[in-house]
Amino acid sequence: MPTDQQLAQGASNRDHRNMQQPAQEQDQQPGREQDMEPRPQYIDPGYKASEKLKGKVALISGGDSGIGRAVAVHFAAEGANVGIIYYDDAEEEDAYKTLDILSDYGVYGEVFQGDISDVDFCSQVVQQVMDKFGRLDIVVNNAAQQFEQSSLEDIAPAQLEQTFKVNVFGMFYLTQAALPHLKEGSRIINTASITAYKGNPVLLDYSATKGAIVAFTRSLSQQLSEQGITVNAVAPGPIWTPLIPASFSAEKVEKFGHDTPMGRPGQPSEVAPAYVFLASNDGSYISGQVIHPNGGTSING
């Protein structure tokens, strides 16, 4: 269970939902959660777990912070053992903080550092999961990068390739590596985005990758239906995660999420329960679908 300090932090973060986040930015991607103010809320202290994932093993890319951390913590609260993938040394502190939180729930957690856009790493990390946990039931493809550019002409080939390598190729590679180990009842959950449906004028390449993820989700769900493996996605709207101050100017960060019908950005704790639903038996008759925690914006899909 979470410590008193973590519950206090969660309650504090919940109070920040209706508060304006101060202007801030970070100088690298992926961003660092420990440098954010206020810190994102990873689980609501009022969340009631009911062992929905007891005994399951989940692997989450980008599980060190933001939505990935929230998903990892919710899965642990529901009884799952969790492996989280983080990218580089800059994320190490966030990754081990997440690992500490998982241990408070009495489950087994493990962190793995590496680049999911490297097909060899994806094969290696899945094998490490099998060696350490003995099974794999849930794959959450969550890691992503985005780079703001005001013009299509400003998107250099290197940026375009990097965005697709991390956001799309990494998803393919990690799922390919995991698939031989998944059995009937396993779950694959992909993180898409509202940008796949609405677009974003300064995130063209990122939005394109998220559209690809929706198509990947729908297609793979059909391919795996006879194996009893469901494939779904979650398409968050503006969520307060390290990706935001790492992507945008301080002025934009200050106004982030205020154009939603709810008038605020969401917290990762408000997104993660959708992953629990799709990962558990509650979502057993759902595949090829997308859930939209986006602050009230109506979109098709």
| Average pLDDT over all residues of the chain | 88
pLDDT at 215 over 70: yes
Examine residue 29 and state whether it is found in any structural domain, yes or no.
Answer: no
**What radius of gyration do the chain's Cα atoms show?**
18
Examine residue 1 and state whether it is found in any structural domain, yes or no.
Answer: no
CATH number at residue 173: 3.40.50.720
Examine residue 25 and state whether it is found in any structural domain, yes or no.
Answer: no
CA angle, residues 128, 129, 134, in degrees to nearest 5: 115
Q: Please give the pLDDT value at position 4.
A: 37
The active-site residue out of 42, 86, 197, 206 is 206
Q: Give the pLDDT mean for 206-233.
A: 98
**Interval 120-135: pLDDT, tens:** 999 999 999 999 999 9
pLDDT at 14 over 90: no
pTM (two decimals)? 0.88
Return d(Cα 241, Cα 267) in angstroms, integer: 8
- Domain tally, the chain: 1
- Of 33-42, 204-213, 280-289, minimum mean pLDDT range: 33-42
Could you give the C-alpha distances from 248 to 13, 45, 88, 203, in angstroms and in order?
Answer: 22, 30, 21, 11
DSSP class of 20 = P
Q: Please give the pLDDT value at position 151.
A: 97
| Catalytic residue flag (residue 87) | no
Domain that residue 165 falls in: 54-291
- Closest by CA position to 84, among listed 58, 66, 120: 58
Return d(Cα 150, Cα 249) in angstroms, integer: 13
8 A C-beta contact, residue 82 and residue 70: no
Examine residue 180 and state whether it is found in any structural domain, yes or no.
Answer: yes
DSSP class of 82 = E
Q: With bands split at pLDDT 50, 70 and 90, how would you rate the model's confidence at 23?
A: low
Q: With bands split at pLDDT 50, 70 and 90, how would you rate the model's confidence at 265?
A: confident
